[in-house]
Amino acid sequence: MQNKDIDIIKNMKTVEWLKAQLLSSMANIHIALANGDENTEENLEDLISNVILETLLLGRRLGLTYEGIESALRDNIRLNLIEGHKIEKWYGDLSILLEYIDKDKS
């Protein structure tokens, strides 16, 4: 087997592993919410940050760039703002998120 073949196989295994990790993290969020753990806020921050991290790493392994994902996220938020997403109407979360992301770029 050539090195290129080994790299492709390694990348495929990594993609499958990241998908499994992502599903596991999502399940852990459901478990934490169902159990109502005492340290839920800290625990949820860790769990949600794991989901974000694993999603970004998965995107990278699938050939995407972090910049491209971030740009798509901004576009998605803006589109949902234009379309009047319910979460925005109820809580203003999308505006807050876009402001946070844009502030980080300044």
* 1 has a pLDDT exceeding 60: no
pLDDT: which is higher, 33 or 61: 61
**Residue spans per domain, the chain:** 1-64, 65-106
Q: Measuring CA to CA, which residue among 68, 63, 97 is closest to residue 80?
A: 97
Q: Identify the weakest region by mean pLDDT among 18-27, 53-62, 97-106.
A: 97-106
Q: Cα separation of 11 and 38, whole Å?
A: 39
Region 10-16 average pLDDT = 96
pLDDT for residue 91: 97
Give kind and range of the element (H or E) at residue 49.
helix 40-61
Over range 46-75, report the average pLDDT: 97
Rounded Cα distance between 87 and 84, Å, is 8
Give the mean pLDDT of 27-45.
84
Q: Which residue has the higher pLDDT, 33 or 12?
A: 12
Report d(CA 69, CA 56) in Å as an integer.
8
Query: Looking at residue 2, what is its pLDDT?
Result: 74
